[in-house]
Chains A and B, each alone.
Chain A
Amino acid sequence: MDKVMSNKTVIALFVWPSLLLLVVLIYMPIVLTGYYGLMDWDGVGGMAFIGLANYKELLRDGLFWNSVKHSFLLAVFSTVSLLVYLLVALVLSARIRGANVFRKIYLIPMLLSSVAIAQLWLKIFHPTNGILNDALARLGVQDTPEWLSNPSIVLYAIFIPILWQYAGFYILIYYAALKNVPADLIEAARIDGAGPWRVAVSIRIPLIAEVIKVTVVLAIVGSLKYFDLIYVMTGGGPNGASEVMASYMYRKAFREYDFGYASAVGFCLLLICLIMTWLIRKATAAKDNVQYS
């Protein structure tokens, strides 16, 4: 048995093709992004080594810091919205008939492409014909907002479809976790006279703390690399008001052909994502067994 199951040729045949793809298409590019970040390069011509000049420029680049700020704002919004999702999941897990149907319906937006979602929401936000302003007008609001062309509200507006898209995903995760909380514990608390709120706050939520930590990591890191929806809906505009790190990198590379500088931005994005993952894990690592569902 051991001999057959530790056959080196077989292992190589099974693992190497995948490993090759992983190394060539993910790990090698990561290293190269770091390398290109040290170059002055337009993507077509030759490269010139300029050391840390791109990074020095980044430090002084207001547009870059703006995009970092917007990315982190999205991360904060997303984390706060987890509370709403948790609340819905708590309701959903209250021995409700049809809970399964509800959680499936919630999930639908997450399955659709960000492009389709972005195009649909462009119409929803449409100043005159969109359903949002139509509803506001019916409610008697006179100055209906220009959701996507007003720099001071565009980022909040863009967060609405994000909230909509990921609701089902987080509710699903919380619901699955809450279902795993032993019923005896809850029943015991009830017999002791605890109401539903008390049970939720003192028993059910603490017991799914690990899952909540994982979702916080997901929400923050997911927000930091957010791209598709913003690229399609506003392209980072108006005037950079909705630019995030990934969209700024894309603009620098494929609009302005500053590949070296864009690589530096891409490398910062990678570092920030890895550091945030590590920091959150570290800060919340009371127990080491992280569950993913």
Chain B
Amino acid sequence: MNGETILTQRAKPGVRRNKLPERMGYGLLYAVLTAVAVLQVLPLLWLLLFSLKNSQEVFQLAPFALPEKLRWENYEKVWTQGQISRYFMNSVWITAVAVAVTVALASLVTFAVTRMRWKLRSFTLGLFMVGLMIPVHSTLIPLFSLFTKLQLINHPLSLILSYIAFNLPITIMIMLGFYYSLPREVEEAAVMDGCSVYRLFASITLPMTSSVVTTAVIINMIYNWNEFIFVNTFISSDKYKTLTVGVQNFVGQYTTDWGAIGATLMISILPILLAFILLSNRIVEGIAAGSVKG
């Protein structure tokens, strides 16, 4: 980024162009960019607005008109009456456990593949990377029958294990470049001083990678929080459903109560929006680094 700024600054005093057309040109570019931004945000703004209206207001007022009074009771209603609070907590703890284990395992694998010396390391890495290309749907039926045999259907472990396995490849990929760029000297010095590999990993390498770990955590969090097909297939009892499937069923009960539907959807996307506001730089970085997942 710094290099770029220097380059663009150096490039500025090149050819002198006519001022007015240039300004108009930039105005046009801004208009295009703003139009795209509006299109990206408008549906969400509309969602927020109808989540604060009652049905009468939704159907009678103009779509982007504010209601007379913001009806926060929609949120209160869906949170207390339905199972949304339970789905929400399930999403929170299942996501947290899966993310923690995935990032820990991926750190170990990436360390072994990039820092240690052994014959099969590029083959092993290849196995993980090929995993990126496999469509989840093609594994669904065997996973369903495997979890049925292990009596893990309707058990959160089926979700946690699947999330870990399917997110390991992308997580390793995000970490890979960072690990390759770590200097070897620090490790060499530590080993000279008699440090074991375990301590080297835990107290030297891992702290050095904290920034890429954060990125990996956020990306994993977004994927797991939003995951749908595994929950929809493996979990049928309300006890362990997560928000994506919970919201889906819940909305079915409130077909005409748009306020309640809006509040439910807002609750389900709020944690991600909040994470985005706080950590947008890391999210952008992580998505660029893991862009293979599409």
Q: Which of A's residues lie within 8 Å of B, judged by CB?
A: 1-2, 4-8, 10-11, 13-15, 17-19, 21-22, 24-30, 32-33, 36, 43, 88, 91-92, 94-96, 102-116, 119-121, 123-124, 129, 131, 134, 164, 166-169, 172-173, 176, 179, 182-184, 186-187, 190-191, 196, 214, 218-219, 221-222, 224-225, 227-228, 232, 246, 249-250, 253-254, 259, 262-263, 266-267, 269-270, 273-274, 277, 292-293
Q: With A218-B292, A232-B248 given, is the CB distance from A112 to B117 under 8 Å?
A: no
Q: Of A115, A250, A253, which is within 8 A of B247 by CB? A: A115
Q: Of A11, A29, A95, A224, which is within 8 A of B112 by CB? A: A11
Q: With A11-B118, A270-B135 given, is the CB distance from A111 to B142 under 8 Å?
A: no
Do B247 and A91 have beta carbons less than 8 Å apart? Answer: no
Q: With A94-B29, A176-B288 given, is the CB distance from A8 to B134 under 8 Å?
A: no
By beta carbon, the residue of chain A nearest B106 is: A18
Interface check B24, CB cutoff 8 A? no
| Residues of B91-133 contacting chain A, CB below 8 A | 105-106, 108-109, 111-113, 115-118, 124, 127-128, 131, 133
Do A184 and B108 have beta carbons less than 8 Å apart? Answer: no
Q: Of B40, B168, B201, which is within 8 A of A167 by CB? A: B40
By beta carbon, the residue of chain B nearest A186 is: B11
By beta carbon, the residue of chain A nearest B28 is: A91
Do B198 and A119 have beta carbons less than 8 Å apart? Answer: no
Contact residues in A for B39 (Cβ distance below 8 Å): 164
Q: With A29-B146, A227-B229, A292-B292 given, is the CB distance from A11 to B116 under 8 Å?
A: yes
Contact residues in B for A134 (Cβ distance below 8 Å): 62-63
What are 7 A-B residue pairs whose CB atoms fall within 8 Å in the complex?
Answer: A18-B106, A29-B146, A92-B33, A111-B283, A124-B43, A292-B289, A292-B291
Contact residues in A for B47 (Cβ distance below 8 Å): 120, 123
Do B33 and A269 have beta carbons less than 8 Å apart? Answer: no
Do A113 and B244 have beta carbons less than 8 Å apart? Answer: yes
Q: Of A10, A13, A105, A222, which is within 8 A of B294 by CB? A: A222
Interface check B182, CB cutoff 8 A? no
Nearest CB in chain A: distance from B224 CB, A: 10
SS of B interface (majority): helix
Interface check B78, CB cutoff 8 A? no
Nearest CB in chain A: distance from B37 CB, A: 5
By beta carbon, the residue of chain B nearest A121 is: B43
Contact residues in A for B283 (Cβ distance below 8 Å): 107, 111
Do A219 and B142 have beta carbons less than 8 Å apart? Answer: no
By beta carbon, the residue of chain B nearest A196 is: B25
Which of B68-76, B208-216, B261-269 participates in binding chain A? Answer: B261-269
The number of A-B residue pairs with CB atoms under 8 Å apart is: 293
Q: Which of B's residues lie within 8 Å of A, judged by CB?
A: 4, 7-8, 10-11, 14-15, 25-26, 29-30, 32-33, 36-37, 39-44, 46-47, 50, 58-59, 62-63, 105-106, 108-109, 111-113, 115-118, 124, 127-128, 131, 133-146, 161-162, 164-166, 168-169, 173, 187-188, 191-192, 196-198, 200-201, 222, 225-229, 233, 243-245, 247-248, 251, 258, 261, 265, 268-269, 272-273, 276, 280, 283-284, 287-289, 291-292, 294
Q: Of A18, A225, A246, which is within 8 A of B105 by CB? A: A18
Do A111 and B258 have beta carbons less than 8 Å apart? Answer: no
Contact residues in A for B59 (Cβ distance below 8 Å): 129
Q: With A25-B165, A102-B33, A129-B58 given, is the CB distance from A182 to B7 under 8 Å?
A: yes
Do A18 and B291 have beta carbons less than 8 Å apart? Answer: no
Do B11 and A183 have beta carbons less than 8 Å apart? Answer: yes
Do B117 and A269 have beta carbons less than 8 Å apart? Answer: no
Do A10 and B36 have beta carbons less than 8 Å apart? Answer: no
Q: With A28-B142, A266-B140 given, is the CB distance from A221 to B116 under 8 Å?
A: no
Nearest CB in chain B: distance from A292 CB, A: 6
Q: With A25-B143, A225-B137 given, is the CB distance from A169 to B117 under 8 Å?
A: no
CA–CA, A228 to B140, complex, Å?
A: 14
CA–CA, A34 to B112, complex, Å?
A: 32
Q: With A21-B165, A191-B14 given, is the CB distance from A114 to B226 under 8 Å?
A: yes
CA–CA, A94 to B132, complex, Å?
A: 34
Nearest CB in chain A: distance from B188 CB, A: 6
Do A14 and B289 have beta carbons less than 8 Å apart? Answer: no
Do A116 and B33 have beta carbons less than 8 Å apart? Answer: no
Do B40 and A105 have beta carbons less than 8 Å apart? Answer: yes
Nearest CB in chain A: distance from B288 CB, A: 5
Do A227 and B137 have beta carbons less than 8 Å apart? Answer: yes
With most chain A CB atoms within 10 A of its CB, the pick from B41, B42, B145 is: B145
Do A96 and B133 have beta carbons less than 8 Å apart? Answer: no
Nearest CB in chain A: distance from B50 CB, A: 7
CA–CA, A27 to B63, complex, Å?
A: 49
Do B33 and A108 have beta carbons less than 8 Å apart? Answer: no
CA–CA, A228 to B80, complex, Å?
A: 28
Do A116 and B40 have beta carbons less than 8 Å apart? Answer: no
Do A269 and B135 have beta carbons less than 8 Å apart? Answer: yes
Nearest CB in chain B: distance from A149 CB, A: 15
Q: With A183-B11, A270-B138 given, is the CB distance from A91 to B32 under 8 Å?
A: yes
Q: With A15-B108, A26-B166, A105-B40 given, is the CB distance from A119 to B229 under 8 Å?
A: no
Do B115 and A266 have beta carbons less than 8 Å apart? Answer: no
Q: Of B142, B196, B198, which is within 8 A of A29 by CB? A: B142
8 extra interface residue pairs, beta carbon distance < 8 Å, beyond A266-B138, A269-B138: A11-B112, A17-B108, A108-B44, A113-B227, A116-B268, A254-B233, A263-B142, A266-B137
